[in-house]
Amino acid sequence: MSASVRFPVLSAAALSAFALSGCGGGNFSLPASGGAQGVGARSARGAQAGPQVSQVTNPYPFAQGDVFDYNYAKTTVTTTGGSSATTYDDGTTVVTIEGQQQFDGQELTEVSEVYTYVKSNGSKQKTASGTLTTDYYREFASANGGLDYLQYGYTTAENETETDGSSIASSTLYTYTDPLLIDVIPEVKSNWKLDIPNTQSGNETTTASGGSSTGNSYTFTRKSDLSYDRTTDFYIDGAKVCSATQSEAKNGSGSDDNTCSKSSDYGTTTFSAPAKSGSKYFITVVYTPPGGSKTTTQVPDWFPGAGPVKALVTSTKKDTGIVKVPSSCGKYVAGQKGAELVESDSILDALEGTYYTFTETTYIVSGEGRVCVIDKDATDTYDYRDTGALTTSVSESSVAGLTGETLQQMRTKGLIVGFPQGKSRPD
């Protein structure tokens, strides 16, 4: 699956980093955008859901029928065993404000994003193409005399065709107990106070051409001490075949109970927090297969910085003030002045052997909304059950830049900041 052109909400990480081992030894990836599992921060400003009553100026065009066009380019570098491979995703996205819809029992605005893409290898040879449609459910809620831009969940539907003619179709649904924070209005230079604890739930189904469908449904709860509980059920052709239950404590210890008989993790595994032995730290991993004898392994500590956990999750977001949009965002928006939002996240998952970092820089221009998003993220995966060695590093960098927009005010008044009258795309 491709990654979406994320104009994402807070902590919109590439969640394939948190894949669970599934039946058949494969991976079932968790959400691809719209809130990293375990980061899911929300506003602590006391946002009130419901009609917009604030008198502040909203920089985001948000009328039903507003349309925004973006170019998108992503580069992915995967390093395994000293060997690296580069792949590319390039495409265009059309974002449309669809109007009010019922979602998870609430009346919210549906924001539809259609991403049409081509994937290629390091030699720029085409390997696949497809379309990914993501429907986000959002609102502007009054908060302390201003507005919080919030997201409550999203759905996706993707169809991808490989150059050999094979195809794959997938669909997802994700909801949050507490809405995720996209922006705080008015745009004021400041650091935002965020509440990380949240509960997310979702499901995913994937069908390959000529094959059966596989899928999963999950519930993930990040607690106030940043520990988590995650329960995942796995399906083949709609029938549940196995499940996995994981609990990670605030010190990085935890347990993994997996009933998937074809998974390398089949059985129960416990993980200790790093403990010092001599001059080094080790993690005690105890694996008990169903009906078998337990095996204990002293795994060299692979946590960032070594030793006791520094932080399972970190999440910061700040408005750095008004800046010029950089040239990397494309000629249509470069040089405009807008608010710069910078988000930085990290997640250590001791039960999956991953350490994930993410930085996103977003540029908001009044009257045009989100004109550019620059993402950089990295996922390091370790042999967390045996040697503690780094096995794979994946780094991604992407830029999404606005190329044109058609707004209701353009249609009714012939006015739009920054773009010629009556045109959805500048010359």
The Cα–Cα gap between 8 and 373 comes to: 9
Q: Which of 54-58, 73-77, 285-289, 347-351 has the lowest mean pLDDT?
A: 54-58
Give the pLDDT score at 55: 61
pLDDT surpasses 50 at 340: yes
**Exposure of 193 in the CB half-sphere (CA atoms within 13 A):** 4
Q: What is the mean pLDDT of residues 333-352?
A: 95
Give the pLDDT score at 172: 96
Give the pLDDT score at 51: 43
- Closest CA relative to residue 417, chosen from 57, 139, 5, 72: 57
For residue range 44-77, what is the model confidence (pLDDT) as tens digits? 444 444 444 446 789 999 999 999 999 999 999 9
Q: Is residue 154 situated within a structural domain?
A: yes
- The length of the chain in residues reads 427
For residue range 306-322, what is the model confidence (pLDDT) as tens digits? 899 999 999 999 999 99
Sign of CA dihedral 308, 355, 268, 301: negative
Residue 324: φ, ψ to 5° = -85, 135
Read off the pLDDT band of 411 (50, 70, 90): low
Q: Is residue 362 situated within a structural domain?
A: yes
Read off the pLDDT band of 412 (50, 70, 90): low
- Closest CA relative to residue 146, chosen from 47, 59, 9: 47
What's the whole-number average pLDDT of the chain?
A: 84
pLDDT surpasses 80 at 10: no
For residue range 295-306, what is the model confidence (pLDDT) as tens digits? 999 999 999 988
Question: What residues contact 79, with CB distance under 8 A and at least 6 apart?
Answer: 392, 393, 394
Give the pLDDT score at 410: 63
For the chain, the three-class secondary structure string (H helix, E strand, C coil) is: CCCCCCCCCCCCCCHHHHCEECHHHCEECCCCCCCCCCCCCEECCCCECCCCCCCCCCCCCCCCCCEEEEEEEEEEEEEECCEEEEEEEEEEEEEEEEEEEEECCEEEEEEEEEEEEEEECCCCCEEEEEEEEEEEEEEEEEECCEEEEEEEEEEEEEEEEECCCCEEEEEEEEEEEEEEEEEEECCCCEECCEECCEEEEEEEEEEECCCCEEEEEEEEEECCCCCEEEEEEEEECCEEEEEEEEEECCCCCEEEEECCCCCCCCEEEEECCCEEECCEEEEEEEEECCCCCCEEEEEECCCCCCCCCCCCEEEEEEEEEEEECCHHHCCCCCCCEEEEEEEEEEEEECCCCEEEEEEEEEEEECCCEEEEEEEEEEEEEECCCCCCCEEEEEEEEEEEEEEEEECHHHHHHCCCCCCCCCCCCCC
Share of the chain above pLDDT 90, in %: 70
- Closest CA relative to residue 402, chosen from 323, 315, 319, 335: 335
Q: Is residue 426 situated within a structural domain?
A: no
Q: Is residue 95 situated within a structural domain?
A: yes
For residue range 134-160, what is the model confidence (pLDDT) as tens digits? 999 999 999 888 999 999 999 999 999
pLDDT surpasses 80 at 43: no
Q: Is residue 300 situated within a structural domain?
A: no
Greater model confidence, 196 or 295 = 295
**Exposure of 196 in the CB half-sphere (CA atoms within 13 A):** 22
- Closest CA relative to residue 321, chosen from 149, 193, 191: 191
Give the pLDDT score at 45: 43
Greater model confidence, 175 or 417 = 175
pLDDT surpasses 70 at 117: yes
pLDDT surpasses 90 at 235: yes
Domain that holds residue 78: 15-263+309-413
Q: Is residue 147 situated within a structural domain?
A: yes
Read off the pLDDT band of 418 (50, 70, 90): very low
> Is residue 354 within 8 Å of residue 38, measured between CB atoms?
no
Q: What is the mean pLDDT of residues 261-280?
A: 94
- Closest CA relative to residue 272, chosen from 305, 246, 249, 245: 249
> Is residue 61 within 8 Å of residue 369, measured between CB atoms?
yes
Q: Is residue 3 situated within a structural domain?
A: no
The Cα–Cα gap between 335 and 323 comes to: 9
The Cα–Cα gap between 201 and 164 comes to: 35
Sign of CA dihedral 159, 162, 163, 166: negative
Read off the pLDDT band of 25 (50, 70, 90): very low
Written as six digits, the tokens of 101 are 């819809």
Q: Is residue 6 situated within a structural domain?
A: no
Q: What is the mean pLDDT of residues 371-398?
A: 97
Q: Which of 32-36, 57-61, 230-234 has the lowest mean pLDDT?
A: 32-36
Read off the pLDDT band of 407 (50, 70, 90): confident
* Number of domains the chain is built from: 1
